[in-house]
Amino acid sequence: MSEFLGPIHYLMYEKIKFQDRLTACLLDQDHLALLDKNLAPVPLDDLADILDQDNIHGFLSAKIDQVESRLAYAILHGKDIYQKAYALGQTLAPDQLDGPQEVFQAINPLLLDAMPCDQALLASLDSQGRLQLNSQLDCHEKYAASPLTIDPKDSLDKSCQGDHDHHDHESFHIQEGPSLDLQDEEGSPYYLLRESLLKGFLEKSGHKVQRIGKNFIIS
């Protein structure tokens, strides 16, 4: 990530804030209040007003730890979480999305998979022209295994060695990639939750979501 604040950082923070929005929608008021007391939500202020300009990558990495831990807690303690995620997706659903490029640009702000330079999620097209979301790195499992025990401060000194500018990143676009192995596998609660969110979000536009373990095909 670049040392200069740019559009890519704002998009990352929108992803981070949305994950906290999802968390809040999964919990009742008592559990949310308890969570907020133990690990506060991320600020909703303008990024430029809260960011450590000298440590953009570390700042955003720590915020990812924060919201991932909070969501792991919500998945563990929330009730009817898949129905609630679906309903949240419905409230945001666009009426029309033409083609995989528009679909991916619409859902990308809803998907948080580590930092862009981690290349955790690869969007590509299969041989039938369907959008694939290929989880190349499960960056969520460590939070699910032990919610609220990961200290976000430990990520403040993380840095990215890649040479990326601050305007865009290839992981925010459809790239070339192999077709997914269509052999189904059991998904963790995190990916079941993502499936519900995406199905609700894409309901009005008529696109179908197929989950294959930790991966997705959208047609």
In single-letter form, the type of residue at position 108 comes to N
pLDDT band at 94 (very low <50, low <70, confident <90, very high): very high
Span 190-216, average pLDDT = 97
Span 11-32, average pLDDT = 98
In single-letter form, the type of residue at position 95 comes to D
pTM given for the model: 0.94
Residue pointed to by tokens 């409230």 = 91
CA distance 205 to 92: 11
CA distance 78 to 147: 13
- Residue range 29-67, pLDDT digits in tens: 999 999 999 999 999 999 999 998 889 999 999 999 999
Sign of CA dihedral 44, 148, 155, 61: negative
Q: What pLDDT does 1 receive? A: 44
Q: Please state at what angle helix 81-92 crosses helix 7-26, rounded to 10 degrees.
A: 130
Q: What pLDDT does 182 receive? A: 61
Span 2-17, average pLDDT = 89
Cα-to-chain-centroid distance, residue 208? 19
- Residue range 132-169, pLDDT digits in tens: 999 999 999 999 999 999 999 999 999 876 666 667 89
